[in-house]
Structure 1
């Protein structure tokens, strides 16, 4: 059996981050300890065929094997004989491995202590296993200390140093198509769109008009709310106003405002957007806040928006509230979802078909 190329821990972490961005996936999948596991399994050749689970005849490792790897071994001991010798010593135990490393003229300096074993096994390895990135011997009881873990061949190929970034992106996309659920792929696509949003964001309004917004996450959220959420959620949406950083406020449909008998004061406008559903009787006014950095509809914000609506001549009973987030995994959502006002809703750019409602249930 030929061994994979040796790959450093930092490069393994960089590639894990490309496969499992932390904005869209659990951070354990791309953590330094997960990278240590990948680097160690590549070093010893703990790789099984795609779609196969390791067996008693496979080359497999314990979590401790991965924790005992060190940079100087990866850098200085790369021949087939040395890698096999290191694997055999690690299989016998920590003392045997230490003796080998010292005999090579190296200090024994493992990446992690043995107390990290449960974190690696329970979080990183089991998390990667759910995506088919690693496999474990199914014939062993969970309490067994016998080695059981190996990388899947297709996943291991993503760490081939011969892949430049362009080829790596293609390979990662192909792997995701086979192993990552559509919802996760949509979140990754949304993340890429945000990362590429270095230019103005063009929004298509429900009436077909186009509006160019300043670059940034806030504008991407407004674009998503208008083009995706409103199209799915509202019967006949009309965007009345859009506000941007720098006190830029657009009144997008003056004719509808006149028909509704409203005179919205641009100088006093608080929400990031106001969308009215004229397909309902009476019309429903959706006040939208985009939480790119903060700015959720909490109880205080809701009270202020009720006062704003009263000053604009909008019946508070026709008011609805929406907070838009980039992702449930985004730091703002993690920090502020708990603060949503009762009677408000939340929407996530990377899960456009879903809406979170924080409402009082009927008795």
Structure 2
């Protein structure tokens, strides 16, 4: 068996960032140092599908910088043979302790490389066996060959994604990349049933555009835009006639969220309106319980005395796997919603249990 040529594991991590771009589901499992070292070790021992060599977590755990530097074929084959034995030695300078076996196996391999078609799993290996059961798919392994850089790496990574990632994963990554590509130009937003709005470039206006053009028509019956703000200019747009009709002063700059939508014909609620307060989170600032309560107090104090059921609060993110969502989801208000540009057909509801019928079956 001819062993694959190697590049340093640090370069492999840099390539993982290209292969799995922003917006890829569970990207954190796929781009970490441990994943790069797993790919390196698999290539080091020749664990590529069809080669007959198989990787076990112990091969990664017990790899060391000193061993990684021994790249002649004899040293690499000897490492595979020794570390595949039931009583394999524990070398000095090993990359990981034994208690990191589970995150490596479960997060990096089983939740990362295997479901993303980067690695295959051999069947029929007993759980207690020291034998390896994982191997890189040949097409994925080829993305780590020496000399693959720049535009060629980008092209081959894109071709691999088209062939091996699911349609949903590809769409999610494409939406996030499309959002990032607008960073240098003003953003024109077409309001439903109203005029267009021009926003400055940046991640928040990109999400705002999606809220108005994608979220609103998907989740509201007859949407209108009453208010749009951003960090650069708190009042770039307001619909004064609609504001007057609603009877709510849309001038509380510190209280109002980034977007206020109005559903003039909410399905199943004939003759009512639904106020939808949407906070755009590109870095921080989700709708918390305190913020939601303040918004409810605002509409309750209006001449029309809106009740809580006349309002919905939504926090909008670019991607569920992005840093803003991971950092702020735990602070979201109960009885609110979360929406993600990269998964536009989905909506997360934080059910607060206030309903008398709160059994799980009633929520399905």
Q: For structure 1, which segment, 334-343 or 352-361, has the greater mean C-alpha deviation from structure 2 after superposition? A: 334-343
Give RMSD over aligned pairs.
Answer: 2.8
Paired residues for 1:255-270 under 5 Å:
255-258=241-244, 260=245, 262=247, 264-266=249-251, 268=253, 270=256
Question: Equivalent residue for 2:176?
Answer: 191
Question: Equivalent residue for 2:293?
Answer: 303
Residue 204 (structure 1) aligned to one of 181, 190, 201:
190
Question: Equivalent residue for 2:236?
Answer: 250
Distance in 2, Cα, partners of 1:20 & 1:12: 12
| 8 Å CA contact 2:336, 2:350 repeated in 1 | yes
Question: Equivalent residue for 1:102?
Answer: none
Q: For structure 1, which segment, 349-358 or 110-119, has the greater mean C-alpha deviation from structure 2 after superposition? A: 110-119
1:83 Cα shift? Answer: 3.3
Distance in 2, Cα, partners of 1:114 & 1:253: 61
Distance in 1, Cα, partners of 2:246 & 2:126: 72
TM-score in terms of structure 1 length: 0.83
Residue 140 (structure 2) aligned to one of 142, 155, 167:
155
| 8 Å CA contact 2:121, 2:134 repeated in 1 | yes
1:142 Cα shift? Answer: 1.7
Distance in 2, Cα, partners of 1:117 & 1:179: 27
| 8 Å CA contact 2:335, 2:350 repeated in 1 | yes
Unmatched tracts of structure 2, length 5 or more:
358-364
| 8 Å CA contact 1:8, 1:71 repeated in 2 | no
Could you list the per-position Cα deviations for residues 284-316 of structure 1 after superposition, in whole angstroms to 9, with x for gaps in the alignment?
221111233333222221221123334554542
Distance in 1, Cα, partners of 2:7 & 2:326: 34
| 8 Å CA contact 1:6, 1:74 repeated in 2 | no
| 8 Å CA contact 2:248, 2:299 repeated in 1 | no
Distance in 2, Cα, partners of 1:283 & 1:114: 59
Give the number of aligned pairs: 344
Question: Equivalent residue for 1:126?
Answer: 110
Question: Equivalent residue for 1:241?
Answer: 227
Q: For structure 1, which segment, 281-290 or 323-332, has the greater mean C-alpha deviation from structure 2 after superposition? A: 323-332
Question: Equivalent residue for 2:39?
Answer: 38
Judged with a 3 Å threshold, the aligned counterparts in structure 2 of structure 1 residues 109 and 300 are, in CA distance, closer, same or farther, namely closer
Judged with a 3 Å threshold, the aligned counterparts in structure 2 of structure 1 residues 40 and 265 are, in CA distance, closer, same or farther, namely closer
Unmatched tracts of structure 1, length 5 or more:
99-107
TM-score in terms of structure 2 length: 0.82
Question: Equivalent residue for 2:260?
Answer: 274
Paired residues for 1:334-353 under 5 Å:
334-353=326-345
Question: Equivalent residue for 1:109?
Answer: 93
